[in-house]
Chains A and B, each alone.
Chain A
Amino acid sequence: MLKDIWKHRTLIWAFVKRDLKGRYIGSTVGFLWSVIQPLVMILIYAILFSKIMQQKVGTSNLGNLEYVVYLCAGILPWITMQDTFIRSCGVFIENASLIKKVAFPPVILVANIVLAGFINLLIGFAVFFAVMLIAGVKFGWYILLFPVSLAVFFIFLFTFSLILATFHIFFRDTQQIVSLLLTVWFWATPIVYLPKIIPENLRFIIEINPANFLINIFRDPIYANQFYHWREASVFLLSTILILILGSAMFKKLRKHIPDEI
């Protein structure tokens, strides 16, 4: 499977470019939209929460923008994940004619979606860091771990996108279920709110919520300026890799049925 991806890397890249460009084709500023959209979102958060609502977190030395940093470190990856998963579910069905009529490995369609989503995430973070630095936020040294966080997140995205894409072929309800589940999960995870507002007796939900591990991978270096929670992070990474191995095995087994089922 990895061999297929490597072999078709130029094709994947062409697809990704088409995907990113295709969204805004025909519009006047084109690709700039993918910068403008996160920019406006982050500016609204920054103004709303630092000037008007003055949301205080009070655990870091990031000044009055600290809630914005807290929020963005969680919400940017979450939005990427949500978009990527939902798009992945439909990808094989939407490209049925390609899979059925042109002999090429379907896995590159998933790789394309994950890469496109990931590039949008990079743009989002670039805009975020630019705005924060201009506003005078001083990040700590642990920010240097940010690329590591991105790498782990990428593996995670690819793993589950592949599994969901395959699953959706056989159970066409997958996309709806995933979309609903992610909405519920979003509010079950401290992304917009702080863990401390949860009553003590319910806080275990956050502690066992795997999405919390995912968000912390970004929040630790960016917001909390500390090394990853050693145990959480390694469990998260190892289980992701394990699921990737199992998922690829499943994919390999079901691969032959894909053209017949879509």
Chain B
Amino acid sequence: MKSEEFAIELANIHKKFRIYGSPLSRLREWLTFGKLPTHYDFWALKNINLNVSKGEAIGIIGENGSGKSTMLKIIAGTTWPTIGDVKTIGRISALLELGAGFHPDFSGAQNIYISARLIGLTDDEIKERFDDIVRFAELGRFIHSPVRTYSSGMYVRLGFAVAASVSPEILIVDEALSVGDDYYQKKSIDRIKKFREDGITVLFVSHAMPHITRFCDRAIWLREGIIEAEGSAKDVVNEYQRYCYRHTYERLILAGKKEEAETLKPEEEPILEEQVWGSGKVKFTRVAILNGKGEETGSLDLGDDITIRQYYYAFEKIENPIFGLNIHTIQGVYIYGTNNHNIHPRKIDHIEGAGYIDFKIKNLILHKGKYFISVMVFDEPDDPYWQNPLDWHNQAYEFLVFSPSEAHGLVAFPGEWSKTHPEAECEMSGVPEQLDLENQWHFHFLDSGWYKLEKEDTGMAFSWSKDKGGFLLLQSPGKTVLELELRASHPDLKNNSVVVSVLMDDEKLGSIEINSIKWKKHKLNVPSVKKYQIRRLTLIPARIWKPEEQGLVGDKRSLGVGLHTAKFI
């Protein structure tokens, strides 16, 4: 595709925000001409590449703070990328904030004039479109009252009406539809649909997933500033929703709110893919789920037998049909699939007219939960990707499983424990001899104090401890010094260093004073060992700081010290 066909091209976009601890630290940095850097860099966007063709509608989804708004602002031209190129062709109308620039004391009509001029309409264009704007906003006689007397619904209606009057070539919609009542939402959705029909390129940010799937051809999922997934709107939304569901579920479980987790609201369930498709030569007419006693039911117990009975109607004679069946969890995890072709082979000579076929699973080892069944039938056993079914009902049937409350995990494999074997040699291959967060991302933690591993764009990797962080390290004979590479980022570091106590096997080794934001190696003597020994190391910073308390809204971390490398030498 030639580049002229793209309405928006983002190439290698990075966006950095400088985060200063306090206003004074910025002054200090300026006065020393950057020799005393007191900020740390926050990369809101990392390596974003995106081409949007003319007339395409792209949905952008992601959690709050994932960089969606920053990306839209860069495209709208209200802010600039730190690295990378943005190219856009055509007039852009950004519904980033409806009613931006409205003056509360002026009437709706007066505000239309100012606001429309702000977004780039000329006087003549405004005169020409004024009546349309007023009509769309449906303000009636209120159009001559001050805007401060408007209800919030009237306010956004007017804002939307002005923004929609621009006749843009690129339309950017950021949560503009999340405000207002149902009537307004429907109206503005219709307006956006009309833009779509007119071949206008649309960028759409919303937390309302049905809007994304309905409007957008394509979607991208931003996560912590990078594109996590890109593809058809349906696929990306599915993937994102599964992630969200898992995330919420795990959080609730971790917080001990198990019951709440079990009753997650239905809209947090994944959007199911298109339910039914196929050539239609055969139709499933009903699917019944039977328990071990042969009773039709929607719920089973762990260990029960389950029979999935598929009633079909073949409109013509199908030779050697292939039946298939899948089971998914509620989170969309594909846990089981079978067919009568190569998994549980059983030749069926032909089907014609009505009939049913059973698939029986003995001893259902699934734990408590809700499961979805997909059924499908093919006439072509060699169909390589199972793409041309006669009929396919995707995740259309469900059943519940009950298991004892002490059950854990998804499946109940039969299993047993052995006795312990104290005669074995100590196995140490799981404990590293040195930590290097540059290359090593998984290591042993003793405490949960480490906030999280963060990778910086300079290639460094480090982690922040909260108030106490620990890890395991292997000490070999002959090594008597522990070397730790540490840094801190406290805003007042120059005047007030951070003292870190280092504990080995719960005994204090010594203290390290950190007064630099740069990585620095510190050495501590340790007792030597005769044979390999696993050491438990704990770092306890004397104080921590919270960016949020320094005015960095939304940065909820507690920062102590960063650890880069650790080893015995």
B488 to chain A, nearest CB (A): 25
CB of B106 within 8 A of CB of A103, answer no
Residue from A22, A25, A173, A260 in contact with B79 in the complex, judged by beta carbons closer than 8 Å = A260
A21: shortest Cβ distance to chain B, in Å?
8
Instruction: Known A97-B97, A97-B101; judge A102-B117 contact (CB<8 A).
Output: no
Within 8 A of A (CB), among B1-44: 17, 23, 26-27
Query: Which listed residue, B26, B79, B92, B105, touches A100 by the CB 8 Å rule?
Result: B79
Interface-side segment among B70-78, B199-207, B218-226, B281-289 = B70-78
Could you say which of A8-16, A34-42, A141-149, A177-185 contacts chain B? A8-16
A7 to B114, CA, bound (A): 16
B78 close to A259 (CB less than 8 A): yes
Whole-angstrom distance between the alpha carbons of A15 and B115 in the complex? 10
What is the CA–CA distance of A98 and B206 in the complex, to the nearest angstrom? Answer: 21
B23 touches A173 (CB 8 A): yes
Distance in angstroms from B141 CB to nearest chain A CB is 18
| Known contacts A97-B100, A98-B101, A170-B26; A104/B118 CB under 8 A | yes
Does A231 reach chain B (CB closer than 8 Å)? no
B101 touches A103 (CB 8 A): no
Q: Are A14 and B117 in contact (CB under 8 A)?
A: yes
- Do B76 and A103 touch across chains, with their CB atoms under 8 A apart? yes
A173, B22: Cα distance in complex, Å: 13
In A222-262, the 8 Å CB interface with B consists of: 256, 259-260
Chain B, 99-126, CB within 8 A of any chain A CB = 100-101, 103, 105-106, 110, 113-114, 117-119, 122-123
User: Which chain A residue has the least Cβ–Cβ distance from B97?
Assistant: A101
The answer to whether A18 and B73 have CB atoms under 8 Å apart is no
B 52-98 contacts with A by CB, 8 A: 73, 76-80, 92, 94, 96-97
- The listed residue (A25, A171, A259) touching B27 by CB distance below 8 A is A171
> What are the residues of chain A within 8 A of B110 when measuring CB–CB?
18
Knowing A10-B117, A171-B23 are in contact, say whether A103-B105 is a contact too (CB < 8 A): no
B94 & A102 in contact (Cβ 8 Å cutoff): yes
**B94 proximity list for chain A (CB < 8 A):** 101-103
User: Could you name 19 residue pairs across A and B whose Cβ atoms are closer than 8 Å?
Assistant: A10-B123, A11-B117, A14-B114, A14-B117, A15-B114, A26-B146, A97-B100, A98-B118, A100-B73, A100-B78, A101-B94, A102-B78, A102-B100, A102-B101, A102-B119, A103-B77, A172-B23, A173-B23, A259-B79
A111 to chain B, nearest CB (A): 14
A131 within 8 Å of B by Cβ?
A: no
A103 to B103: give the CA distance in the assembly, Å.
18
CA distance A103 to B166 in the complex (A): 14
Residues of B within 8 A of A95 (CB): 101
CB of A99 within 8 Å of the partner chain: yes
A95 to B117, CA, bound (A): 16
Q: What are the residues of chain A within 8 A of B101 when measuring CB–CB?
A: 95, 97-98, 102
- The chain B residue with its CB closest to the CB of A103 is B77
* Chain B residues positioned under 8 Å from A259 (CB to CB): 73, 78-79
What's the Cα separation between A100 and B17 when bound, in Å? 15
A102, B118: Cβ atoms under 8 Å?
A: yes
Give chain B's interface residues, CB within 8 Å of chain A. Answer: 17, 23, 26-27, 73, 76-80, 92, 94, 96-97, 100-101, 103, 105-106, 110, 113-114, 117-119, 122-123, 146
B105:A26 contact, CB within 8 angstroms: yes
A108 smallest CB distance to B (angstroms): 10
Q: How far is the CA of A177 from the CA of B130 in the complex (A)?
A: 45
Q: Kindly list chain B residues whose C-beta atoms are within 8 Å of the C-beta of A102.
A: 78, 94, 96, 100-101, 118-119
State A170–B92 Cα separation when bound (angstroms): 29
A103 contacts across to B, CB distance below 8 A? 76-78, 92, 94
- Find the B residue at minimum CB distance from A170: B26
- Assembled-state Cα–Cα distance A98/B102 (Å): 10
Report B-chain residues with C-beta under 8 Å of the C-beta of A104. Answer: 118
Distance to closest chain B CB from A219 (angstroms):
38
- Secondary structure class of chain A's binding surface, majority of residues: helix
* Distance of A196 from chain B, by nearest CB (Å): 42
Q: Which 4 A-B pairs have the closest CB atoms?
A: A103-B77, A101-B96, A259-B79, A101-B97
Min CB–CB distance A127 → chain B (angstroms): 25
Name the distance in Å between B18's Cβ and chain A's nearest Cβ: 8
**Given A101-B78, A102-B78, A103-B78, 6 further pairs, Cβ under 8 A:** A18-B110, A97-B97, A100-B79, A101-B73, A102-B119, A103-B76
Closest to B17 in A: A260
- Distance of A104 Cα from B119 Cα, bound (Å): 8
What is the CA–CA distance of A184 and B77 in the complex, to the nearest angstrom? 42
Give the nearest-CB partner of B75 in chain A: A103
Residues of B within 8 A of A170 (CB): 26
Residue of B nearest to A173 (CB): B23
With a cutoff of 8 Å between Cβ atoms, the chain A residues found around residue B77 in the complex are 103
A259 to B117, CA, bound (A): 20
> What residues on B are CB-neighbors of A101 within 8 Å?
73, 76, 78, 94, 96-97, 100
Q: Which residue of B lies closest to A24 (CB)?
A: B105
Q: In the bound complex, what is the Cα–Cα distance between A103 and B73 (angstroms)?
A: 9
> Which residues on B sit within 8 Å (CB–CB) of A99?
78
Q: Which A residues are in CB contact (< 8 Å) with B23? A: 171-173
Q: How far is the CB of A60 from chain B (nearest CB, A)?
A: 45
A11 contact set on B, CB distance < 8 A: 117-118
CA distance A102 to B174 in the complex (A): 13
Residue of A nearest to B70 (CB): A260
Contacts of A15 in B (CB 8 A): 114
In this complex, the member of A26, A97, A103, A259 whose beta carbon has the largest number of chain B beta carbons within 10 angstroms is: A103
What residues of chain B lie closer than 8 Å to A171, measured between beta carbons?
23, 26-27
Report chain B residues within 8 Å CB of A26. Answer: 105, 146
A12's closest neighbor in chain B, by CB? B117
Taking a contact as CB atoms under 8 Å apart, the answer to whether A256 and B80 are in contact is yes
Q: How far does the Cβ of A250 sit from chain B's closest Cβ, in whole Å?
A: 12
Residues of A near B118 (CB, < 8 A) are 11, 98, 102, 104
| CB nearest to A104 among chain B residues | B118
Query: Which parts of A167-218 form the interface with B (CB within 8 Å)?
Result: 170-173
Q: How far is the CB of A149 from chain B (nearest CB, A)?
A: 33
Enumerate chain A residues within 8 angstroms of B103, measured Cβ to Cβ.
18, 22
Q: Output the least CB separation between A212 and chain B (Å).
A: 30
User: Taking the nearest CB of chain B, how far is it from the CB of A161, in angstroms?
Assistant: 20
Complex CA distance for A97 and B79, rounded to whole angstroms: 12
A25 x B106 contact (CB < 8 A): yes
In the assembled complex, the Cα of A256 lies from the Cα of B146 at a distance in Å of: 35
Minimum CB–CB distance from A34 to chain B (whole Å) comes to 16
Taken together as a complex, chains A and B put the C-alpha atoms of A100 and B73 apart, in Å, by 8
A97 to B76, CA, bound (A): 14
User: Which residues in window 40-60 of A have CB below 8 A to B?
Assistant: none
